[in-house]
Amino acid sequence: MGSKNHELVPTPLIEKLSRLKGGASGVHRSISALAKNGLVARIKEAKYDGYRLTYGGLDYLALHTHSAKRHVYSVGSRIGVGKESDIMIVADETGTQRVLKIHRLGRISFRTVKTNRDYLRKNKTGSWMYLSRLAATKEFAFMQALKEEGFPVPDPIAHSRHTIVMTLIDALPLRQISAVPDPAALYADLIELLLRLARHGLIHGDFNEFNILIKEDSVPGDSPDETETTTLTPILIDFPQMVSMDHGNAEMYFDRDVACIKTFFSRRFHFVPTKAGPFFVDAKKTVGKDGARRLDAALEASGFTKKMAKDLEAAIREQQEHVTSKEENGAASDDEDDEDDEEDEEDAEDGGEGEQDGQISEPGVVIIAGKGIAKPNLIADGQGLGKLAISGDT
């Protein structure tokens, strides 16, 4: 609660909110225990005495909720790391595998801009952890709305703080595929998805090879003499940057999504469409056409306010600017990264009170609320696409 408006929560405020017995000394003992486990941290040379919740602490709170509601029983390997999230394989009590997405806005800013360690200091809108919670809230709401309308997205199962639990789909990211049987057909399917989103009032905002999965299904022939055919189904993921067709920069976002797909297909599959477009002005005319439900309104209906959307958009834009700036100036050297790591360690209190960034030290050997231990690799045998050429890109 205190982290919403404070990067560093004052100790007196912690005492007030916690209502622990034993007064200040009892609160201090509890905080020390949490700090030793890397769940909270004290910042050296701060203007006042206080603690911050680490991403490890936030992870624990979210996993505790998922465990209590029986959405997650065990945690396996980390299968993806992005600019703004970690992706983990998890399982429920029956062993059914699922995906846990952990939003981590601010990860890039923590390491690349020393003078802007927290978005709160500059813009007064809330900490990076609070913004990560907004990102998860927005994504979960859109996933629910899109699933209800029959869009090819993972089934949203649960949401807690900065995390989302969803179904695990046997598919590969488009970026990992080096060849497909019919690039024109797949391109047409993706453009139709983009236009279908527009009819429902939405623009993905990050429609590229990193956020599109390709699911392969074999369809048997109508007779024993006919060979089976392979169908490719695009699956959309990653929705924190999704915006309305009425957004002030809607045309820019729409055109960027179209350009990303065209560029990738040209580079990877050597496919260039003969027809220009699609264009935003034409897509705008289709919004709500043929009874399409406006899904951009679903976000506000979920309780996600315009102010929340504005804060989140500003945070994501800031991260993108950091990435662009770093790419233009050249990647930081290993020595510089080491210096940043040392500086981060010095920011925390000695004696195990440093921030652990929420990372699991031994993936696949994690106990959730004392209930169970995951197998080292909770990935189904044979997972992956069999008839497509796989690229070495990751």
Could you write out the DSSP letters of every residue in 148-209? HTT-S-PPEEEEETTEEEEE--S-EEGGGEEE-S-HHHHHHHHHHHHHHHHHTTEE-S--ST
Catalytic site residue 206? yes
Q: What is the Cα–Cα distance from 62 to 371, expressed in whole angstroms?
A: 16
Instruction: Give 271: exposed, middle or buried? Use CB within 10 Å, 0-12, 13-18, 19+.
Output: middle
Contacts of 100 (CB under 8 A, 6+ apart): 66, 72, 75, 87, 88, 89, 90, 163, 164, 165
Task: Considering only the C-alpha atoms of the chain, give the largest distance between any 2 of them, rounded to a whole number of Å.
Answer: 80
The CA-based dihedral angle spanning residues 365, 37, 93, 76, taken in that order and rounded to the nearest 10 degrees: -30
Residues in the chain: 394
Instruction: Give 363: exposed, middle or buried? Use CB within 10 Å, 0-12, 13-18, 19+.
Output: middle
Contacts of 204 (CB under 8 A, 6+ apart): 194, 197, 211, 236, 239, 241, 242, 257
Lookup: tokens for 222: 């109508």
Partners of 9 in the beta sheet?
51
The H-assigned helical ranges of the chain are 11-18, 23-36, 55-68, 107-112, 119-123, 128-148, 183-199, 250-268, 280-284, 296-301, 306-329, 334-347
Catalytic member of 59, 86, 206, 238 = 206
Report which DSSP code applies to 43: B
Residues serving a catalytic function are 206
